[in-house]
Amino acid sequence: MPQLRQNIITGEWVVFAPERAKRPTDYITVTTERKQKKDDCPFCVDSKKSEYDKRLKEYDTNFTYTLPNKFPAFVERPELYSPKIYNIEDEFYKMKLALGGHDVVVVKDHDQALNKFTPAIWEDLIGVFKKRYKYFGKIPNVEYIMPIYNHGPEAAASIEHPHAQIFASAIVPNIVAREVRHTAQYYSENKKCAFCDLIEHEKEQNTRILFENSDFIAFTFYAARFPFEVWILPKRHKAYFDEITPQEIVSLAKICNQVFTRFDETLNDPPLNFFIHSGPVAEKYDDLSYYHWHLEIAPRLAIYGGYELGSGMVIDIITPEAAADYLRLGKKS
């Protein structure tokens, strides 16, 4: 019997239709050949097309370097762009310049793909996320900062060389605004953080947990929008990602290594996106004591159809419980 599940963080509903389900092994990704040559790679340090000299040197680490995106979605210095006349259409539509910032955080080794990141690489990556988060958080026009990673062509990774991105935008994204509103309502009604209650509930049920350490917990999400969707939550209640401590960076690096290694072992390095949701830095969100930053992983193993696009409600055909059981088995059969 299909069932509806509500996302406790956003209030959104998801449909689970187990009768339509595939076997978990049917989601194993076909191995894709890496085709991009290092000589033509813009992110390889010694490439003839390398962008390495344009990096922000003060953010260099052992395993990563950081540079402004060549084609930014959000612009930190609009004065560098040619002035254009924008037709506002008699103020019927709203429009404003896409101010903010857009970074690329590059892992130096071309062949060190996401599924093979060591804890040390993860530590460098997370550390740079924190430093750039703090930087963008001081820019007046910035309201929201989100580190993301696209892995695989199905997940919009147009360049094979491993790299993350950091978006600093002049607006708060819709899904984050929904999270903030719904968790504020939850706190008003229950006098508790929805995320902290989520951690407590998952530990009590113990049906979806994959990994746990002293600082973080990783589990398949109850109202998953994607097959094998995993959330990683810090146990310490903080609204903003940049409040992560050095010890927590080490712990997050370890659990990320475990989760992505397990994805590789069981689903053959699937295409996926991950992103960090943190409290907005916009002035209007002056009290976010009810919010809780976290990392979400969205494997791209299904294609949305007309119902999903038309309704905004996803039909998932593998339950998070079945996904957790399969991921906990380890090696793919």
Query: How would residue 156 be classed by pLDDT, with cut points 50, 70 and 90?
Result: confident
Q: What is the pLDDT of residues 162-198, one digit of tens each?
A: 999 999 999 999 999 999 999 999 999 999 999 999 9
Report whether pLDDT(82) > 70: no
Residue type, 273: N
For residue 317, what pLDDT is reported? 85
The reported pLDDT for the residue numbered 194 is 98
User: What average pLDDT does this structure show over 12-37?
Assistant: 72
Query: 332: closest CA among 22, 29, 76, 4?
Result: 29
Q: How many CB atoms lie within 10 A of CB 287?
A: 9
Average pLDDT on 207-221 reads: 98
Pairing of strands 315-316, 13-16: parallel
Q: What is the pLDDT averaged over residues 246-274? A: 97
DSSP at 224:
-
pLDDT band at 93 (very low <50, low <70, confident <90, very high): confident
The amino acid present at 332, given as its one-letter code, is: K
Task: Report how far Cα 124 is from the mean position of its chain's Cα atoms.
Answer: 17
Q: State the pLDDT confidence band at 86, using cuts at 50, 70 and 90.
A: low
Residue 94 has φ and ψ, to the nearest 5°, of: -90, 145
Looking at residues 310-315, what average pLDDT do you find? 92
Per-residue pLDDT for 115 more than 50? yes
Give domain limits for the chain.
Answer: 35-79+96-300+319-329
Instruction: Examine the pLDDT at 81 and tell me if it is beyond 80.
Output: no
- The angle that helices 174-190 and 194-205 make with each other, rounded to 10 degrees, is 80
Asked whether residue 331 carries a pLDDT value surpassing 70, the answer given is no
Contact 139, 76 (CB under 8 A): yes
With a pLDDT cut of 70, the percent of the chain lying above it is: 91
Span 58-84, average pLDDT: 89
pTM across the whole model:
0.93
Q: Is the pLDDT of residue 19 over 80?
A: no
**pLDDT score recorded for residue 26:** 61
**pLDDT at residue 333 in the model:** 46
Residues 6+ apart with CB under 8 A from 332: 25, 28, 265, 266, 267, 268
Q: Which of 238, 183, 175, 234 is nearest to 8 (CA)?
A: 183
Question: pLDDT per residue over 265-292, tens digit each?
Answer: 999 999 999 999 999 998 888 889 999 9
Q: What percent of the chain has pLDDT over 90?
A: 76
Alpha carbons 239 and 232: distance in angstroms, whole number: 14
Which residues make Cβ contacts (< 8 Å) with residue 304, sequence separation at least 6?
A: 314
- Is the model's pLDDT at 104 over the cut of 90? yes
Say if residues 221 and 294 touch (Cβ distance below 8 Å). no
Architecture of the domain delimited by 35-79+96-300+319-329: 2-Layer Sandwich (3.30)
